[in-house]
Structure 1
């Protein structure tokens, strides 16, 4: 089963790499935006909030709607800044979801509590069955 989870992670990483090469910042990568199709092929979907950054290293969101705060990097939460690095943070949370068998990241924390905890250096602990190298 772990090998299958690693395979999912690799496929998602390849999809994110493709988007990066196309200069697209996804902004909303969550496990619910990954579809698993025939032959267990993972597809990154839900590109509704993505944006082509056209060689810009980062961009700023000027309006706030409903956003998936549990998957967002601290700079996105605090300053509405999105980069491929903030997408990488979201990818890490998606991996955590996969390896925790679908648990909710940062369960029990409100958006304000989550932001405060992240500012204080808190990071989500690794899933119980994952070894240190995972």
Structure 2
């Protein structure tokens, strides 16, 4: 360890971490090339060849030329995933269009409406029980 000074170890680690960061960026650029809808087949092939043949320069040029749209595509994907997750949760909870009522069972919304009618005095307790029994059967 005496023949490898601490400063050289620092520089080696710095270059190693920069190389790892560049690898992450390279994979992100390659994924973005294939995900991009506004590029045709030849343009995708050209960007891919540039990113793989001249890797450092190709990634840098891609990020400079298409970085803004790259961020927009990322945001769009996040919003689509969030909307899909929310729709799944609504469906699983039975409050969506394909809830329990569509499957033949009572809907949580229908039971809540009945309870609200009873609480406001629009229907009596007996009418509430009868309507609830109809929903549950």
Higher strand proportion:
1
Normalising by the smaller structure, the TM-score range is under 0.3
Q: Greater share of helix residues, 1 or 2?
A: 2
TM-score (norm 2): 0.21
For CA contacts below 8 A with separation 6 or more, give which structure has more relative contact order: 1
* Higher Rg of the two aligned structures: 2
